[in-house]
Amino acid sequence: MSEFPWPDRGALEEDIAFWRTHGDDIERYAVVGGRRFAESATRLGDRLTDRDVRHYDGGEVDDAWAWLEGGA
Q: Is residue 44 part of a domain?
A: yes
Q: How confident is the model at residue 51 (pLDDT cuts 50, 70, 90)?
A: confident
Q: How confident is the model at residue 24 (pLDDT cuts 50, 70, 90)?
A: confident
Q: Is residue 35 part of a domain?
A: yes
CA–CA dist 57, 38 (Å, integer): 9
Q: Is residue 9 part of a domain?
A: no
pLDDT value of residue 67: 93
What does the buried/exposed string (b/e) look like for 41-50 if buried means 16 or more CB atoms within 10 Å of the residue's CB? bbeebbeeee
Taking the model in full, what pTM does it have? 0.61
Quote the Cα angle for 50-70-24, to 5°.
35
Range of the domain at 69: 28-72
Amino acid identity of residue 38, one-letter, is A
- Cα-Cα-Cα-Cα dihedral of 65, 70, 44, 59, to 10°? -20
